[in-house]
Amino acid sequence: MKLKPSTLYKTLLNKFGPQKWWPVDEVYHKKNNSDPRFEIIIGAVLTQNTAWSNVEKAVNNLKKRDMINIDRISNQKLDNIKELIKPSGFFNQKAVRLQTLSIFLRDRYKGDLDVFFSRETDVIRKELLSLKGIGPETADSILLYAGGKPVFVVDAYTRRICQRIPFETDISYEGIQRFFQNELSESFSKRDLNKVYNELHALIVVLGKNHCKKKPVCSGCPIEEFCEKLV
């Protein structure tokens, strides 16, 4: 029997339970009257090529300086941003990307994320991808987790799983995304798709970290019976 994305979702959810992504510090934002969506945007940029634990350290540094704020990131000296986000790695590039994105949101949308996310998903995605250092995974993470847009995020774990099952799709970012979105949109209502995309991406990360590693740990893997080859 072939594994479908909808079956993958149900199987992983049954095994691992809801992941409640994206984690944000609601207490901090309530206290500081700040927008938790911008924390998600920051996290989406900083998580490139690093573990989430490192991102948390960098985000906590920004919080201590009250920098979860579009205007403050936009106006801050770049060297100061680099120092604060150093735990996330590649801090020179990420500081530029973070400030570029912040300046874009400030100058084009006056820092109003309600306005920014009020438009069509494809339009927002095109704008994000036009910014240096913002690739499809980062853009789609921002759309899904900060903007609440029904967009499936593809990462390295997803690509690896697609090769090992294998799913009947090419392994390009766009090919995998299209395959998952087409099948899941037929299996779930439009109202539920955002939740499904959100949970499935998070669940795939859990599967990848615990089982579908570069050197796989197949014992106890909830989809071992579907796996046809190792890559």
145-187: per-residue pLDDT in tens? Answer: 999 999 999 999 999 999 999 998 899 999 999 999 999 999 9
The H-assigned helical ranges of the chain are 5-16, 26-32, 36-46, 52-64, 70-75, 78-84, 91-109, 113-116, 121-129, 136-141, 156-164, 173-187, 193-210
Q: Comparing C-alpha atoms, which of 116, 30, 123, 27 is closest to residue 70?
A: 116
According to the model, what pLDDT value does residue 2 have?
82
pLDDT at 231: 55
Q: Which pLDDT score, from 0 to 100, does residue 6 have? A: 97
Asked if 203 contacts 155 with a C-beta cutoff of 8 angstroms, the reply is no
CATH code 1.10.340.30 for 34-146: yes
Class of domain 5-20+151-226 as given by CATH? mainly alpha
Place of tokens 């206290």: 31
Q: How many residues does the chain have?
A: 231
Q: What does the block give as tokens for 174?
A: 């766009």
Q: Hey, where are the domains in the chain?
A: 5-20+151-226, 34-146
pLDDT in the model for residue 228: 82
Cβ-based neighbours of 91, under 8 Å, separated by 6 or more: 58, 82, 83, 85
* pLDDT value for 50: 94
Tens digit of pLDDT at every position of the chain (231 positions): 689 999 999 999 999 999 999 999 999 999 999 999 999 999 999 999 999 999 999 999 999 999 999 999 999 999 999 999 999 999 999 999 999 999 999 999 999 999 999 999 999 999 999 999 999 999 999 999 999 999 999 999 999 999 999 998 899 999 999 999 999 999 999 999 999 999 999 999 999 999 999 999 999 999 999 998 655
pTM, 2 dp: 0.95
